[in-house]
Amino acid sequence: MTKVQFYGEPPPGIDQEWLPGRLIAIEGTDGVGRSTIISILRDYLEANGWGVVDSGLRRSPLVGPGIDQAKEGHTLDPITLNLFYATDFWDRFERIMLPALQAGMVVLADRYIFSLMARAIVRGAAREWLEQIYGFALIPDQVIYLDIDAEDLVLRILERGFDFWESGGDYLHDRSIYDGFMQHQREQLHEMSAMAERYDWDIVDARGTIEEVFEEVRQAVMPTVESMSRP
Amino acid sequence: MSTSEDFMDLPGRLIVVEGIDGSGKSTQLDLLHKWLRSEGYVTVFTEWNSSPIVRDTTKRGKRKQLLTPMSFSLIHAADFASRTHEQILPALQAGVIVLADRYIYTAFARDAARGVNRKWVRDLYSFAPPPDLALYFHVSLEESIRRIGAARAEIKFYEAGMDLGLSEDVSESFRLFQGRILEEYDTLCDEYDITRVDAHQSLVSQQVLVRELVEPLLEDMPRREITNVPTHMQTGYVSLAAGGGL
């Protein structure tokens, strides 16, 4: 059973004290391989009889389309952008994650509140403000952090191409896309590593092959998953 | 991120109006706006729920009834943040007058009426510059319902707080929900420096009071030369604006 505990003030509308499911958040920066790992992990867990739901950023029916549209304009200030993402997170939590946890499923969150906070912090938003807002988030059973450094990360990005926002294009105007990417990612990684320590996450070295990373993640999450009654 | 000290140096003036639907606040602000313009002041007007970037999402959420108390709160904060960044702060930095139809107190009152934690909502809006003048148009529930009834055919789902399941009946739910909001506004008037205006008074006497309260804030505000402005604009005659509401 998952004890219902929040980082801050409990949000309205959640009465349970315990949830039968398990919430596992996979954190890591842009392009580190989270979605690949989650998709393999989901297949693996389902093949073993566990019910699994995954949820990634911008997939909320309420806000998803709005964020995509707003980001096209490249004019979003960090506070508005962050509040869009906070709404997206909450909507997915209430609509997808919470019902799955109530139904006894394993929820694999592709990023949690931490990426959102790190992104906003490097763009100048106040840490205290972010911690207050994201206090509404349920404390997950486990957070897996896919760890990488900017030098190894950029080699992967070169193959798939740079993204405006992942390179801090909205706030690092005077940099080349490469320099912008390196600076933005270094700062974001710095924030994430500090959180990994502070919140005691399970750290997985993401520089290996997909098979290697998956195996490490699998070993890390299985005790959490198996602490539910076996299917 | 802004802190309260950052706002100290903003040369502009921020004037906001608050009140439940049917309190007449928008009409009063509209009259004030016309008067200030006729006097040559540069003004920027902003209203709740109107950011071009966020508005469509809120509208979709309302139309499809996707909003819950927390997502309702968050998406309105996003709308407000976007307007703060694009309209309110630049205007205050430029040293002109900003007129806001509803401000953070609307969120404080409505979200609390929906059961959202009061401290959380206040923290959420901590990036907002504090107003130089906040006017709360106080009207009784009965009077507001009478006025709304005359102006509008039907009450919308979220306006009536139908998402809270207070009552199956829209009118009854509206009454209960607006009653809660009124109570929240009462508390807010004690907590913040908000000036209460008795909105049962005649429209003209309210406007006279509003102008008296605004006048001391106009010192040092830049003015344009007034030429070829129609007479009714110069004298600021009171004319009834169509009931707005949200």
A208 in contact with chain B, both atoms CB, cutoff 8 A? no
Distances (CA, A) of B37 to B19, B48, B166, B203: 24, 21, 43, 20
Q: Which of A6, A60, A79 to mutate to test the interface with B (most CBs of B within 10 A)?
A: A79
* Nearest residue in A to B164, CA atom: A13
Q: Is the dihedral of CA A11, A16, A17, A23 positive or negative?
A: negative
A174 in contact with chain B, both atoms CB, cutoff 8 A? no
Structure tokens at A93: 């939590």
Interface confidence, given as ipTM, is 0.92
Average pLDDT for A125-136: 96
A14 in contact with chain B, both atoms CB, cutoff 8 A? no
Has residue B119 been placed in a domain? yes
Has residue B123 been placed in a domain? yes
The answer to whether the CB atoms of B81 and A80 lie below 8 A apart is yes
Structure tokens at B134: 């906040």
Query: CB within 8 A of A178, min separation 6: which ones?
Result: A154, A162
The whole-angstrom separation of Cα B199 and Cα B139 is: 5
- B115-132 per-position pLDDT tens digit: 999 999 999 999 999 999
- Strands A22-27, A142-147: pairing kind: parallel
The whole-angstrom separation of Cα A217 and Cα A213 is: 6
The DSSP 8-state label assigned to residue B243 in this structure reads: P
Where is average pLDDT lowest: A64-68, A144-148, A164-168, B132-136? A64-68
Number of domains in chain B: 1
Q: Which residues 89-128 on chain A approach chain B with CB closer than 8 angstroms? A: 90-91, 94, 124-126
SS3 B223: strand
Which CATH number covers residue B168? 3.40.50.300
The whole-angstrom separation of Cα A84 and Cα A63 is: 7
Has residue B160 been placed in a domain? yes
Distances (CA, A) of A210 to A34, A40, A70, A225, B36: 10, 9, 33, 21, 65
In this structure, what are the phi and psi dihedrals at residue A177, rounded to the nearest 5 degrees?
-65, -35
Which residue in A201, A206, A227 sits closest to A216, CA to CA?
A: A206
- A59-72 per-position pLDDT tens digit: 888 888 888 888 88
Q: How confident is the model at residue B239 (pLDDT cuts 50, 70, 90)?
A: very low
In this structure, what are the phi and psi dihedrals at residue B88, rounded to the nearest 5 degrees?
-70, -55
- B56-113 per-position pLDDT tens digit: 999 999 999 999 999 999 999 999 999 999 999 999 999 999 999 999 999 999 999 9
The whole-angstrom separation of Cα B109 and Cα B182 is: 8
Has residue B1 been placed in a domain? no
Has residue B175 been placed in a domain? yes
Has residue B235 been placed in a domain? no
A137 in contact with chain B, both atoms CB, cutoff 8 A? no
Q: How confident is the model at residue B153 (pLDDT cuts 50, 70, 90)?
A: low
The DSSP 8-state label assigned to residue B27 in this structure reads: H
Q: Give the pLDDT score at A3.
A: 87
Has residue B75 been placed in a domain? yes
Angle between helices A78-92 and A64-72 (to 10 degrees): 160
- A73-108 per-position pLDDT tens digit: 767 899 999 999 999 999 999 999 999 999 999 999
Mean pLDDT value across chain A: 94
Question: What residues of chain B lie within 8 A of the CB of A85, using their CB?
Answer: none
The answer to whether the CB atoms of A62 and B75 lie below 8 A apart is yes
Closest approach of chain A CAs to the CA of B195, in angstroms?
A: 28
Question: What residues of chain B lie within 8 A of the CB of A133, using their CB?
Answer: 120, 123-124
In this structure, what are the phi and psi dihedrals at residue A112, rounded to the nearest 5 degrees?
-130, -150
The DSSP 8-state label assigned to residue B41 in this structure reads: B
Q: Do the beta carbons of residue B36 and residue B43 sit within 8 Å?
A: yes
The whole-angstrom separation of Cα B82 and Cα B77 is: 9
Which residue in B54, B44, B55, B57 sits closest to B10, CA to CA?
A: B44
Q: Is the dihedral of CA B49, B52, B53, B55 positive or negative?
A: positive
The whole-angstrom separation of Cα A67 and Cα A62 is: 10
Structure tokens at B236: 């600021």
In this structure, what are the phi and psi dihedrals at residue B236, rounded to the nearest 5 degrees?
65, 40
Q: Do the beta carbons of residue A157 and residue A181 sit within 8 Å?
A: yes
Range of the structural domain that residue B31 is part of: 12-220
Has residue B39 been placed in a domain? yes
Q: Give the pLDDT score at B227.
A: 63
Structure tokens at A31: 């392009």
Q: Which of A63, A74, A113, A128 to mutate to test the interface with B (most CBs of B within 10 A)?
A: A63
The whole-angstrom separation of Cα B83 and Cα B90 is: 10
Query: CB within 8 A of B172, min separation 6: which ones?
Result: B166
Residues of B with CB under 8 A from a CB of A: 1, 3, 51, 53-54, 56-57, 60-61, 66-71, 74-75, 77-78, 81-82, 84-86, 114-117, 119-120, 123-124, 126-127
A231 in contact with chain B, both atoms CB, cutoff 8 A? no
How many contacts (CB atoms, under 8 Å) link A and B? 98
Provide the percentage of residues in chain B whose pLDDT is more than 90: 78
The answer to whether the CB atoms of A91 and B123 lie below 8 A apart is no
* Nearest residue in A to B67, CA atom: A62
Structure tokens at B60: 């979709």
- A1-28 per-position pLDDT tens digit: 678 999 998 999 888 999 999 999 999 9
Beta carbons within 10 angstroms of residue A173's beta carbon = 8
Structure tokens at A30: 């842009």
- For chain A, domains (ranges, CATH) are 2-226 (3.40.50.300)
The whole-angstrom separation of Cα A203 and Cα A182 is: 22
* Nearest residue in B to A135, CA atom: B120
Q: Do the beta carbons of residue B178 and residue B12 sit within 8 Å?
A: no
The whole-angstrom separation of Cα A76 and Cα B9 is: 25
The answer to whether the CB atoms of A12 and B117 lie below 8 A apart is yes
Q: Is the dihedral of CA A34, B77, B57, A15 positive or negative?
A: positive
The whole-angstrom separation of Cα B110 and Cα B183 is: 10
